[in-house]
Structure 1
Amino acid sequence: MGVQTPQDVQRVVDGLTDSSWAFSALVAAAEIGLLACLTPSCTPAEAAARAGVTDALAKALLDVLTSIGLANTQGNTYVAAPGLGEFLRTSPSDDILAWLRSNHFQSRQMVDAARRGQLQPGWIHTDPEILRAQGRTGRAAVHALASQVFPSVPGLQECLRSPGAAFLDVGCGVGIISIEMCRIYPHLSVVGLEPGEVQAAEAARNIAEAGFEERIEVRPQRLESLTDRDAFDLAYVPQVVMPIAAVTSGLPRVRDALHAGGWVLVVAISVPGNDLHAATTRLLNVMWGGSPLLAHEVVEMTKAAGFESVQVGGAPGSLLKAILGRRPL
């Protein structure tokens, strides 16, 4: 029936308010280490002692986690739901925290910008906390691509593992994707394009800390000015944060920068539909500075740039869709 009365509006807003507080409670629980207390189990007093909060606050946070299905209760004891327990066991805690922080920081900054009359689309973040959190989320994405997507692309894994392999990371941000690619593929060298001074400086710090200064070059360059030819085996183009004009003009440059038979990886996040998830993917895409292109539209754009064997992949459960195309031999 939709929203027909003022009371319906109140119910919708109340539900969203509950969801907002629940997400904030989840982020707070991760920040103070309370999530870890759920494996194997804890009482509110035990959780409070480990997290450094009062018993009452620990119980209130645990009750919220229980209400959204992430925890179960056994008397006065709280335990992670089976899915959360498996998630915590298989995901690095830093990656979990970065994932939660990134969404929390970005949504909060959107509201702050609107309040100041400065709301505009585009990846214009310079807050180091946001950059680090969003950058860290790339770590899990790279490992998912390497283990679940790249093996299905003929010859790509073998090429990336070979001496002399080269990767182009367009809009490399704080360098996490470049770093993780080097960790997975020991012979790989990387050129990262990053015109943002703050992001490039953070990338340099991360690359030095990882010990990959000799393998990763960060250029203060935009895709539109790329002139490399026949230099790379794989290129990553994050069109979700790029104006469509930059993508359409840049993809032919990427094609020319690849070796014959090299692959481009273009990602998409927008999905069709009127449900909340679909609408928020498109909002996120626009706020990041890209156009809310659906996967099939990115496929056609990639084909129009002269790539062949274009295919769509993606890790199960991931927001990202991976569109891969090959430069003709």
Structure 2
Amino acid sequence: MATVVDTDRVEEAVEKVFGELGVNCTAPLIVLGDRLGLFRSLAGAGPLTPAELAARTGLVERYVREWLRAVAVAGYLAYDPGADTFALTDAYAAVLADDAAPTALIGVFPGLAALWADLDRVEGFFRTGGGMAWGEHHPALGLAQERFTRPAYVHGLIAAWIPAVEGAVPRLEAGARVADIGCGHGRSSVLIAERWPRSTVTGFDPDDAAIARARSTAAAAGLDGRAVFEVADATGYPADGSWDLITFTDSLHDMGDPLAAARHARRAVAADGAVLVVEPLAADRFADDFANPYARIGYAVSTLVCTPSSLAQPGAAALGTMAGEARLREVLTAGGFTRVRRIAEESAPLNILLEARP
């Protein structure tokens, strides 16, 4: 029998997919707006004609005009047809034009190039298994991660998340030893060292190139050895019970053996110290993630980046970006921590923050 097609459902599907095509076609325009300073020039400027924006930026008016129209149709700019002017609202400026704003998301867009660049390799993993480490991805991925997480770390990690760890601030103010595991480009390590100058932070990551960049960032910040970086995985740093605070900032799920990482951290942390685990927001049941604002991004990144990262390492646990609180607690408890509590929920709408203690 011939299949009866519900034309209304087909129209809904076409509308959905066509909308996705529009979103994907707009992403390179957002990157151009960032690279060329268009968003920054529009911020706070009020309505501008294409010629006025071209004059402000020193760019070719015809290209500027087409870019403005494309981005306005996508909903990012307000348009006045009578005056033929375009304006960036303060709300969108806080997301697209100011890297220091806690709401900044502009840093994510350049990283999309890496997802496309590495797609052929990921396709191969679907067929044969295996994976690739973070350091094997297109360089745009790590740079985007560093830029995107900086405002989250400034306004979250430094201002609210670490202060929510019981007793952490007094110890950091007095002078603590901090281990930042899976530190990547070292942005979190540098920020901790800058905020608490009496403390020393050591960042550990298995990627040589990431550690080289982290060392360069620390040197540029003039931290005088208060933030140092070593090439080591999550079980390769000293487990001598002398670390006052150990942090896993968006890194535990990327590891091949998160349980081994937790066990090592349990041996490494001081008896009265703490481990802070920062992970993306995810529900314990997949069915509940359909209401999660982060889920769409989280599962995509997990498929293309984080799961391949884990499967490239010994252990190959493939915890996934969207592991959820219950699974993270299981890992920490099995690793030997006797007290695990969730903290700072009000300041981390897109993260799960767990404080673990021996």
User: TM class by shorter-chain length?
Assistant: 0.7 to 0.9
Q: 1:99 aligns with which of 92, 98, 108?
A: 108
> How many residues align structurally?
321
Cα shift at 1:29 = 0.8
Could you tell me whether the CA contact under 8 Å between 1:234 and 1:262 is conserved in 2? yes
> Within 2, Cα distance between the matches of 1:7 and 1:105?
30
Picking from 281, 294, 300, the partner of 1:283 is: 300
2:248 counterpart of 1:223: no
Q: Provide the residue aligned with 1:49 in structure 2.
A: 55
Matched, 1:158 2:170: yes
| 1:300 and 2:330 aligned | yes
Per the alignment, residue 325 of structure 1 pairs with: 356
Uncovered stretches (5+) of structure 2, i.e. residues with no partner: 311-318
Structure 1 position 66, deviation (Å): 2.9
The one-character-per-residue Cα deviations of 1:257-290 (angstroms, maximum 9, x if unpaired) are: 1112212122222524347952431231342225
Partner Cα separation in structure 1 for residue 226 and residue 218 of structure 2:
9
Distance 1:189 1:279 in 2: 37
Matches within 5 A, 1:259-270: 259-269=270-280
Q: CA deviation at 1:96?
A: 5.4
- Name the structure 1 match of 2:92: 84
- Residue in structure 1 matched with residue 313 of structure 2 by the alignment: none
CA–CA separation in structure 2 for the residues paired with 1:209 and 1:277: 33
In 1, the alpha carbon distance for the partners of 2:210 and 2:160 equals 29
Output the amino acid matched with 1:241: D
Contact 2:197–2:226 at 8 Å: present in 1 too?
A: no
> What letter is aligned with 2:109?
L
Amino acid at match of 1:155: G
Distance 2:158 2:201 in 1: 16
1:208, CA displacement in angstroms? 1.9
Determine if contact 1:149/1:314 at 8 Å carries over to the other structure. Answer: no
Alpha-carbon distance, 1:317 to partner: 6.8
CA contact (8 A) 1:240 1:269 kept: no
Measure, in 2, the Cα distance between the counterparts of 1:37 and 1:285.
35
Check if 1:59 corresponds to 2:88. no
Q: CA RMSD in A?
A: 3.0
Is the alpha carbon distance of 1:31 and 1:96 closer, same or farther for their aligned partners in structure 2, counting shifts above 3 Å? farther
Q: Distance in 2 between matches of 1:186 and 1:227?
A: 22
Taking a change above 3 Å as real, the CA distance of residues 169 and 2 of structure 1, as seen in their structure-2 partners, is farther
In structure 2, the CA distance between the partners of 1:261 and 1:141, relative to structure 1 (3 Å rule), is: farther
Relative distance call for 1:256 and 1:118 in structure 2 (3 A) is closer
Distance in 1 between the 2:68 and 2:347 partners? 28
Q: Please tell me whether the aligned partners of residues 33 and 50 of structure 1 are also in contact (alpha carbons under 8 angstroms).
A: no
TM-score by length of 1: 0.84
- In structure 2, relative to structure 1, the CA distance for the partners of 1:81 and 1:260 (3 Å cut) is same
Cα distance per residue 1:1-41 (max 9 Å; x no partner): 99987665544332211000122211211111110122222
> What does the per-residue CA deviation read over 1:170-196, in whole Å, with 9 as the maximum and x for residues that have no partner?
122222111111111111201221222
TM alignment of 1:173-322, pairs within 5 A = 173-237=184-248, 238-243=251-256, 246-269=257-280, 271=282, 272=286, 273-274=289-290, 277-286=294-303, 287-288=305-306, 289-290=309-310, 291-292=319-320, 293-307=323-337, 308-314=339-345, 316=347, 319-322=350-353
TM-superposed deviation, 1:229: 1.6
Q: Specify the SS of the correspondent of 2:276.
A: strand
2:110 and 2:181 map into 1 onto residues whose CA distance is 24
1:12 to 1, 4, 16: 16
Tell me if structure 1 keeps the 8 A contact 2:34–2:97. no
Q: Distance in 2 between matches of 1:67 and 1:92?
A: 27
Moved more, 318-327 or 308-317: 308-317
TM norm structure 2: 0.78
**Do the aligned partners of residues 14 and 69 (structure 1) sit closer, same or farther apart at CA in structure 2, a change above 3 Å counting?**
closer
Aligned-partner Cα distance in 2 for 1:203–1:118: 30
In structure 1, list runs of 5 or more residues that go unmatched.
Answer: none
- In structure 2, relative to structure 1, the CA distance for the partners of 1:131 and 1:86 (3 Å cut) is closer
Q: CA deviation at 1:121?
A: 5.3
Q: Provide the rounded CA distance (Å) in 2 between the counterparts of 1:312 and 1:101.
A: 31
Secondary structure at 1:223's aligned position in 2?
Answer: coil
Asked if structure 1 preserves the Cα contact closer than 8 Å seen for 2:179 and 2:243, the reply is yes
Question: Secondary structure, in 3 states, of the residue corresponding to 1:225?
Answer: coil
Could you tell me whether the CA contact under 8 Å between 2:118 and 2:137 is conserved in 1? no
CA contact (8 A) 2:340 2:354 kept: no
Q: Verify the 8 A CA contact 2:240 2:268 in the aligned structure 1.
A: yes
Is the CA contact (8 Å cut-off) linking 1:145 and 1:315 kept in structure 2?
no
Matched, 1:31 2:35: yes
